[in-house]
Amino acid sequence: MLVALVDTRKDFEDLSSTYLLVAIAVFAVVALGCLFLLLRFRAGRRGSPSSGEEPGWLPFAYAGFLAAVIVVLLVLTFSAQDRISAKADRPGLRVDVTAAKWNWRFDYPAQGISQIGGDTRPTVLVVPSHTDVRFRMTSIDVIHSFWIPHVRFKRDAFPKRYTEFDLSFSGTGYHTAGRCAEFCGLKHDQMTFNVEVMSPADFRAWVARKRSEAP
């Protein structure tokens, strides 16, 4: 039984637009506020500057307002966090990820397939769309980070440690880029991989072809 697919991209976009809206509103208020204050209270106007103290309740009321904003932001963040860190009871595909200076290896244990690239040819991660893919990741040397910008997600790969997470890919028949995001030494900038998202039927055909090619 599959729980709801983890759609990191959609959760990211929804949350991001809310945060962005709040940020733009705050910036606009402060910027316009500064402009107003600089014009309204510029030197040369009549009267003397304020000499009183502000009301004592003001900072507390203001802190209460800010706390309410924080609660709203965190409720949204935590619910998105729960959705994207959810794991399916039975994932549709398992992929073992091995990161090494400066390349990637993707193993499909159930299918008996290994994807390994070369110096000039990045490794290709082939995944079926609309399927919960369980990644199990490690590194054989330093810390790397598995980042697919298109799905708005990354996770670090540590040596001597396995990290598991689920992703799903919506849409079919497209390529996108993935890469290492954690600085890992000399050729960090070349540590990329390609992602090919296929329909489940195409993926099955690809698996069959790969297995027939195998020696």
Site for another protein in 51-110 (CB under 8 A): 51-54, 56, 58-59, 62-63, 66-67, 69-70, 73-74, 77-78, 80-81, 84
CB 145 within 8 A of CB 153: no
Please say which residue, 63 or 205, places its beta carbon nearer to another protein: 63
- Least spacing, CB of residue 82 vs another protein, in Å: 9
Cα–Cα dist 191/97, whole Å: 14
**Length of the chain in residues, anyone?**
215
State phi, psi for 139 to the nearest 5 degrees: -125, 150
Here the tokens at position 91 are 């994932």
According to CB under 8 A, which residues from 130 to 159 bind another protein?
141-143, 145, 147, 149, 152-156, 158-159
AA letter at 184: C
- Least spacing, CB of residue 42 vs another protein, in Å: 5
169 binding another protein? (CB under 8 A): no
CB 127 within 8 A of CB 95: yes
Please say which residue, 165 or 203, places its beta carbon nearer to another protein: 165
Report the half-sphere exposure of 97 (CA within 13 A, side-chain side): 35
DSSP 194-211: EEEEE-HHHHHHHHHHHH
According to CB under 8 A, which residues from 26 to 45 bind another protein?
26-27, 30-31, 33-34, 37-38, 41-45
- Least spacing, CB of residue 108 vs another protein, in Å: 22
180 binding another protein? (CB under 8 A): yes
212 binding another protein? (CB under 8 A): no
User: Which listed residue (97, 99, 184, 197) binds another protein by CB under 8 A?
Assistant: 184
**Cα torsion 100, 148, 165, 110: sign:** negative
Please say which residue, 94 or 155, places its beta carbon nearer to another protein: 155
**With contacts defined by CB under 8 A, how many residues of the chain interact with another protein?**
75
User: Which listed residue (189, 204, 205, 211) binds another protein by CB under 8 A?
Assistant: 189
The CA angle 82-200-11, to the nearest 5 degrees, is: 25
